[in-house]
Amino acid sequence: MSMNKYREQVTKVLERIWTTQTASIEKAAAMMAESIAAGGLVHLFGSGHSVLPVQDVFPRYGSFPVFRPLMDARLQWQNVLGSGGAKGLLWLERREGYAKVLFENEPIRKGDIMVVFSHGGMNAVGIEVAIEARERGLKVVAITSMDNQNRSRSTHSSGKKLSEVADVVIDNCVPAEDALVAIAGWKAPVAAGSTVAFVTIANSIVAEVAAQIGKRGMTPPVFVSPNVPGIPADNNPQVFAAYEKALRR
C-alpha cells in the first residue's frame, strides 16, 4: 500500500536526521543558549509551507518565550487562488528586495539568532533574510534540503544559496523533490516529507535549548496545555508577559 511506502520513506528521513544531524542540532542549540543567556532572542522565519515549523515552535504548548516567530501574512497563503493565494505567495518569495521591508520595525538586534526554514533554499526571501540578519550582527541557522542545495545552481543575484550564507546548516535529509511516494503511471511523486522533517528538527532544538539554558539556571515559563494538572491559572499569562518583556529589550 502507498501509505506504507510513505511510512517507510519518512522513517528513513527521520533516521538520517538522527544519525547525521545531531551534531549540527547541538551546535545550533548551543549558539542559541549563549545568545539567550545574554538576553537575546531566537527569531524563526519561513515562507509558504516552511512557516509551519515556525508556528510549531512558539507559541506552542511545550515551548517558552525565548523564540520569536517572524511571520508575514503575504508570505503565507490563506487561499489557493486570488487574494492571499498560493500563486501570489510563490511570486513574492522569489522576488529580491522584500527582506529589508520585512525587517522594518521588527525587534531584531545584534547578538540574536535567526533560523531560516526553507526546503529548497533557493528562494530570494529566505536567502535575503539570512543575509540581512548577518549584516545586522545575528548568527544564522539554515534548515534546508542539502540534496536540493547540492543539485541546484543559485538564481539569486548574490550567487549564493541559503546554505552558503548561514553559520550552521542542518540538513532536513529530504530529497530535493520533497514528495516521497511514486505512484504507478504518475509523472511525479506525492506525499511531502519536509514538514515532518522540519517539525522534528524544530522541536529537537526546543528540547536541546531548554536543557542548555536550564544548566545555566534559567527557568523561563513554559507555555502549558490546560490538560496538564497542577499548573497555576496564571501560568500562560506569565508566558505572554515574558514574551512581551523580551520584545522590549
Please report, as a single letter, which amino acid is at residue 77: W
What's the first-to-final CA gap in the chain, in angstroms?
54
pLDDT value of position 2: 85
Residues in the chain predicted with pLDDT less than 50, given as ranges, are none
Determine the pLDDT at residue 174.
97
Give the class (CATH, top level) of 2-247: alpha beta
Domain positions in the chain: 2-247
Label the pairing between strands 113-117 and 42-46.
parallel
| Model pLDDT, residue 87 | 87
pLDDT of res. 226: 86
| pLDDT for 67 | 97
| pLDDT given at position 233 | 86
H/E element, 99: helix 98-102
With H, G, I as helix, E, B as strand and everything else as coil, classify residue 157. coil
Query: How high is the pLDDT of residue 23?
Result: 98
